[in-house]
Structure 1
Amino acid sequence: MKKLLALVCFFILSMASAQEISMQKGKFFRNGVQISSWETKQLLITNPEAYKYFKTAKNKEAWGGFLIGAGSGLVIGDIVKGAVSDSDYPSGFTYVGAGFIVAAIPILSGRTKKIEKAVDLYNKGLQTTTDTSVFEMNILANSNGYGLQIIF
């Protein structure tokens, strides 16, 4: 029974073998085919440490984009207000908007390195061992639920 279970698991795992993710110019590729950020996230969920870095990078991207958008909106809105009315142009909105844009720069600065680190950790986790005599089966529990880990 144990050999049959190991054989079935071997065939299932060989059919659903994981493939490495590569990153070129900010886009994700698997087997030379571009995949979306959502698909990349779904692949990285299997490696908690890699997923943590990916999630941190995406949060930085979201907050940085929000600050740049809000800052640009405030500056452009103040420019339009100054052009169509008799009020002084550089008002507080311009300074707050410029502050938002400047604050976004350090937030966005480390996101690419975090994504690259997440992809590297995921790819390192896919590398198999060359020792074929090892067979180990464990029951695991984590934040995603319960599972069976088979190492061979």
Structure 2
Amino acid sequence: MKKLVLVGLLLCSLLSFSQQITMERGRFYWKGNQIDSRKARELFATNVKAAALYKQAKSKEAWGGFMLGLGVGLTVGDVAIGMFSAQNYPTAMTYAGVGSMAIAVPILTGRKKRYEEAVRIYNSEHPETLLGNQQSTIDLKVISNTNGFGLQIQF
């Protein structure tokens, strides 16, 4: 029975270790595997500030992508109209497209900083504690007394 309890304790302690989120080239990785935005949102939900920063970054990404796409579409559309018709090129459509692309650039630049801040907050709240790591909070010792030998686990 003692062996079963010891094995159970060790297995439970291995499962309780948290993993940190890393971000490489705009993608999130957790436990060495790439995760999608739904899983990232679930992980960031453990901290209100990290979840808010992640949501702000996703919102900036959506609006910036929309403005950039709108700008490119308007500009390319006006170029096509100018090439295949007798209408003078650049019209107000081109200027609106270039303006939309100019607005999209500052919107898109702020999202990476918010993602990184959300990852930093999550990782500071969930320190990586793997076996053999110096941040490990579990101390396992072999002890003895007059009644015999035993294992002492301190959390």
Amino acid at match of 1:76: V
Q: Percent identity?
A: 41
Distance 1:131 1:81 in 2: 68
Deviating runs (4+, > 2 A) in structure 1? 11-18, 127-132
Counterpart of 1:38 in structure 2: which amino acid? R
Cα separation, partners in 2 of 1:13 and 1:72, compared to 1, 3 Å: farther
Match of 1:51 in 2: 51
Q: Corresponding residue for 2:76?
A: 76
1:108 aligns with 2:108: yes
Deviating more after overlay: 123-132 vs 68-77? 123-132
Give the unaligned 5+ runs of structure 2. 1-10, 130-134, 139-154
Cα separation, 2, equivalents of 1:123 and 1:61: 22
Q: Which residue of structure 2 aligns with residue 145 of structure 1? A: none
C-alpha separation between the residues in 1 aligned to 2:115 and 2:21? 11
Q: Distance in 2 between matches of 1:131 and 1:33?
A: 25
Hey, what does 1:62 align to over in structure 2? 62
The aligned residue for residue 144 of structure 1 is: none
Match of 2:7 in 1: none
Shift of 1:109: 1.1
Could you tell me the TM-score, scaled by structure 2's length? Answer: 0.71
The count of aligned residue pairs is 123
* Deviation at residue 51 of structure 1 after TM alignment: 0.6
Distance in 1 between residues matched to 2:137 and 2:19, nearest whole Å: 20
Q: What does residue 126 of structure 1 align with?
A: 126
Rg (Cα) greater in structure: 2
| 1:109 aligned counterpart, secondary structure | helix
Stretches of structure 1 that go unaligned for 5 or more consecutive residues are 1-10, 133-151
**Equivalent position SS for 2:23:** strand
- AA paired with 2:93? F
1:18 positional shift: 3.3
Secondary structure of the residue aligned to 2:61 is: helix
Alpha-carbon offset, residue 16 of structure 1: 5.4
Query: 1:24 maps to which residue?
Result: 24
How far is the alpha carbon of 1:15 from its aligned partner? 3.6
How far did residue 37 of structure 1 move? 1.8
The CA deviation at 1:131 is 8.3
